[in-house]
């Protein structure tokens, strides 16, 4: 798969390293930042709540002081009236003195129940008031002004306790915001309600007081009446017109309504205002004004509240970003440092893999893992180089040896007569032989030749061991056998003589089993001797098939004084003799079971015995088929001779 140098695989390690480290760092930083931000925010809110509470309490306290001061005199007058009613002049004087004494009070009356002061007068309410000319005086009440229905009279009467009215603009339309304190007084033993003493108090001082409260740059305070109407607020058009609930309704803000409900119920608290109220996020601290039942709110704009936190946060984020950049640079540098030698190494090893072992590996400096890896590669490269050099040499030697063995085999095989039929002029017998070596050079041998015009010599042998020594031993044996086989010699004599020769200087202690026979093909007489070889199979023309009874004798080459005897039979025309080596009977199949003599006998009983070639082929094919894919353990040699008469 071709890869370009800029493929992501090349970036791999460094890219992953940077991705993982930077992602985790960012997450950790973001989490720490968020936690810090939230905590700081809470802390700031707590502190602001605290200071807003102090500010509200302080302002409320100041209001209460004024309200209490103003209320003291009407309360005292009501208390006096509980005892007895003074005459009208005394009342007027009292009211005048009261107005002189208290600058905030604009008017004051003592309003009586119908006919309570004067049995003839339904309305009786002397009223002193301040106007631009000084003090004025009038009697309240009449068809135009039924004061019994006025809140300042009706409510304290029904509740029978002092009452601060909802604020209102003064009657003169002078735009002076007022509130009226009404204190009920009573008559007689039963303490029945007899009227109220009132004080109309200007709230100009209150406006100033509230307006002076400032929080941060744009924070401010406002005051709500008991009904939730704005009594003081920087926005003039709200005053006495809008209530916190009408604002909530027009802004469609149930949150604001909830804050308003808490305020008019005299609760104290700190809440987040809906943005619509001030046009930006803000918080409000609200506290009741106990004497009047009003409620004060202090608004803190969130932006200013958290201005410091936000600038700090911006700085932290900037530092974080700078750190991020530095970290990125460091990671990039480290990953380049790590991956550059790795990349070089990868390049070199690719070349090594292609077979170029002479490539120069990068120079090794330092002791880190990359250097170790580089060193290991160098060692591996050197070991590979040595191994390959070694292998080349070994292969050469092996090739040489194999070629020599091949030559040896050719030589060995050339020892064996391979021309069939060997004696086409002689019709007395048919002879055929085959040899399949186990390895390149085997230890089996067979031979046949005519001793004279009437005698055929044949032999089959098997040298112990295999390979070149066995082949050489076999060549020697064959030569000795041929040299000792003369007309009129006994096969036993031949074996005795060959044995004696083989025993001389046989240091390797190789030995050979051998069956040899001489056939007088004119008479059918067969003389034979055996040196430890498998008994051949005699196949009579009549179908009788059995092992040939051979005289006992030990293998050639071990004991120089071994004695061999000769056996003899006469072959009838059509009889056949099959001589073989133990490569046939000891051949093994894949299950490591032997071919066995019994199987051979059985095979031959059914075989066509008229033709020597067919006989050898039958046996050879049967054995090879039996072996199947199992490796051939030994040379296999089969020689068949059919006597024709």
In the complex, which residues of this chain contact other proteins (CB under 8 A)?
Answer: 144-145, 148-151, 154-155, 158-159, 163, 165-166, 168-169, 173, 175, 226-229, 240-246, 249-250, 257, 260-261, 264-265
Task: Report in angstroms how near the CB of residue 100 gets to other proteins at its nearest.
Answer: 30
DSSP 461: E
Task: Report the C-alpha gap between 446 and 418 in whole angstroms.
Answer: 10
Task: Report in angstroms how near the CB of residue 92 gets to other proteins at its nearest.
Answer: 25
For other proteins, give the closer residue by CB, 144 or 561.
144
Exposed, middle or buried: residue 279 (CB in 10 Å: 0-12, 13-18, 19+)? exposed
Task: Report in angstroms how near the CB of residue 177 gets to other proteins at its nearest.
Answer: 10
For other proteins, give the closer residue by CB, 242 or 351.
242
Closest to 54 measured CA to CA, from 205, 213, 230: 213
Return the half-sphere exposure (C-beta side, CA atoms, 13 A cut-off) of residue 277. Answer: 32
Q: Are 462 and 533 in contact (CB under 8 A)?
A: yes
Q: Are 496 and 563 in contact (CB under 8 A)?
A: yes
Task: Report in angstroms how near the CB of residue 265 gets to other proteins at its nearest.
Answer: 7
From residue 563, give the alpha-carbon distance in Å to each of 176, 328, 332, 515, 551: 162, 100, 95, 14, 11
For other proteins, give the closer residue by CB, 237 or 354.
237
Task: Report in angstroms how near the CB of residue 86 gets to other proteins at its nearest.
Answer: 28
Q: Are 531 and 511 in contact (CB under 8 A)?
A: no
Task: Report the C-alpha gap between 303 and 308 in whole angstroms.
Answer: 9
Please state whether 110 falls in left (phi above 0), alpha (psi between -120 and 50) or beta. beta
For other proteins, give the closer residue by CB, 163 or 577.
163
Task: Report in angstroms how near the CB of residue 211 gets to other proteins at its nearest.
Answer: 20
Helix (H, G, I), strand (E, B) or coil at 235: coil
For other proteins, give the closer residue by CB, 168 or 564.
168
Task: Report in angstroms how near the CB of residue 98 gets to other proteins at its nearest.
Answer: 25
Task: Report in angstroms how near the CB of residue 130 gets to other proteins at its nearest.
Answer: 20
Which neighbouring-strand residues pair with 128? Answer: 108, 137
Helix, strand, coil percentages (3-state) for the chain, rounded to 5, are 45, 25, 30
For other proteins, give the closer residue by CB, 26 or 250.
250
For other proteins, give the closer residue by CB, 78 or 150.
150
Task: Report in angstroms how near the CB of residue 281 gets to other proteins at its nearest.
Answer: 24
DSSP 33: H
Q: Are 460 and 580 in contact (CB under 8 A)?
A: yes
Exposed, middle or buried: residue 355 (CB in 10 Å: 0-12, 13-18, 19+)? exposed
Please state whether 509 falls in left (phi above 0), alpha (psi between -120 and 50) or beta. left
Task: Report the C-alpha gap between 209 and 38 in whole angstroms.
Answer: 35
Task: Report the C-alpha gap between 35 and 248 in whole angstroms.
Answer: 34
Task: Report the C-alpha gap between 124 and 116 in whole angstroms.
Answer: 8
Task: Report in angstroms how near the CB of residue 153 gets to other proteins at its nearest.
Answer: 8
For other proteins, give the closer residue by CB, 55 or 177.
177
For other proteins, give the closer residue by CB, 249 or 304.
249
Closest to 512 measured CA to CA, from 488, 533, 543, 489: 533
For other proteins, give the closer residue by CB, 148 or 415.
148
Task: Report in angstroms how near the CB of residue 227 gets to other proteins at its nearest.
Answer: 4
For other proteins, give the closer residue by CB, 231 or 538.
231
For other proteins, give the closer residue by CB, 244 or 548.
244
Phi–psi pair at 605, nearest 5 degrees: -60, -30
Closest to 554 measured CA to CA, from 504, 500, 597: 500
* Pair of tokens at residue 406: 């091949």
H/E segment holding residue 538: strand 537-539
Task: Report in angstroms how near the CB of residue 184 gets to other proteins at its nearest.
Answer: 12
Task: Report in angstroms how near the CB of residue 261 gets to other proteins at its nearest.
Answer: 5
For other proteins, give the closer residue by CB, 244 or 526.
244
Q: Are 494 and 515 in contact (CB under 8 A)?
A: no
Task: Report the C-alpha gap between 296 and 60 in whole angstroms.
Answer: 7
């Amino acid at each position: 798969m071709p890869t370009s140098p800029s493929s992501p695989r090349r970036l791999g390690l460094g890219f992953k390293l940077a991705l993982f480290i930077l992602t985790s760092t960012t997450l950790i930083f973001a989490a720490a930042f968020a936690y810090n931000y939230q905590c700081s925010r809470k802390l700031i809110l707590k502190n602001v709540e605290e200071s807003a509470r102090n500010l509200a309490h302080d302002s409320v306290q100041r209001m209460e002081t004024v309200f209490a001061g103003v209320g003291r005199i009407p309360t005292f007058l009501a208390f006096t009236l509980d005892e007895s009613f003074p005459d009208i002049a005394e009342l007027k004087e009292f009211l005048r003195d009261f107005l002189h004494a208290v600058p905030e009070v604009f008017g004051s009356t003592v309003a009586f129940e119908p006919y309570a002061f004067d049995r003839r007068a339904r309305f009786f309410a002397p009223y002193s008031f301040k106007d631009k000319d000084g003090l004025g005086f009038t009697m309240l009440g009449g068809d135009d002004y039924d004061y019994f229905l006025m809140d300042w009279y009706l409510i304290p009467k029904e509740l029978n306790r002092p009452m601060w009215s909802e604020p209102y603009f003064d009657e003169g339309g002078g735009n002076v915001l007022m509130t009226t304190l009404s204190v009920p007084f009573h008559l007689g033993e039963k303490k029945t309600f007899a009227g109220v003493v009132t004080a109309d108090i200007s709230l100009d001082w209150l406006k100033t007081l509230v307006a002076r409260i400032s929080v941060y740059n744009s924070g401010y305070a406002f005051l709500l009446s008991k009904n939730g109407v704005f009594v003081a607020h920087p926005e003039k058009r709200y005053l006495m017109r809008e209530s916190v609930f009408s604002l909530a309704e027009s802004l469609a803000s149930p949150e604001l309504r909830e804050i308003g409900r808490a305020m008019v119920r005299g609760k104290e608290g700190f809440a987040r205002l809906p943005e619509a109220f001030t046009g930006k996020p803000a918080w409000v601290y609200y506290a009741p004004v106990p004497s009047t039942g009003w409620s004060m709110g202090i608004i803190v704009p969130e932006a200013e509240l958290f201005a410091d936190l936000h600038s700090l946060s911006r700085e932290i984020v900037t530092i974080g970003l700078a750190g991020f950049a530095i970290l990125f640079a460091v990671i990039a540098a480290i990953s380049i440092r790590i991956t550059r030698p790795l990349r070089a190494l990868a390049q070199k090893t690719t070349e090594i893999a292609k077979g170029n072992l002479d490539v120069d590996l990068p120079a090794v400096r330092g002791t880190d893992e990359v250097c170790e890896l580089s060193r290991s590669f160098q060692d591996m490269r050197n070991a590979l180089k040595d191994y390959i050099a070694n292998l080349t040499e070994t292969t050469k030697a092996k090739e040489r040896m194999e070629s020599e063995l091949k030559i040896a085999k050719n030589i060995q095989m050339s020892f064996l007569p391979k021309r069939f039929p060997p004696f086409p002029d002689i019709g007395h017998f048919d002879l055929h032989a085959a040899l399949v070596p186990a390895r390149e050079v085997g230890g089996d041998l067979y031979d046949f030749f005519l001793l004279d015009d009437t005698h055929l010599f044949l032999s089959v042998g098997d040298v112990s061991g295999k390979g070149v020594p066995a082949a050489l031993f076999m060549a020697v044996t064959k030569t000795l056998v041929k040299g000792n086989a003369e007309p009129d010699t006994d096969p036993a004599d031949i074996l005795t003589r060959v044995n004696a020769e083989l025993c001389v200087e046989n240091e390797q202690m190789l030995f050979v089993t051998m069956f040899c026979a001489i056939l007088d093909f004119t008479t059918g007489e067969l003389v034979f001797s055996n040196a430890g070889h498998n008994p051949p199979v005699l196949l009579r023309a009549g179908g009788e098939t059995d092992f040939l009874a051979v005289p006992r004798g030990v293998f050639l080459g071990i004991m120089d004084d071994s004695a061999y005897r000769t056996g003899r039979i006469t072959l009838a025309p059509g009889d056949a003799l099959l001589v073989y080596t133990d490569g046939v009977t000891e051949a093994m199949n894949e299950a490591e079971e032997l071919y066995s003599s019994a199987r051979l006998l059985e095979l031959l009983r059914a075989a066509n015995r008229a033709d020597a070639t067919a006989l050898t082929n039958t046996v050879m094919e049967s054995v090879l088929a039996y072996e199947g894919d199992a490796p051939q353990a030994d040379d296999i040699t089969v020689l068949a001779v059919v006597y024709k008469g």
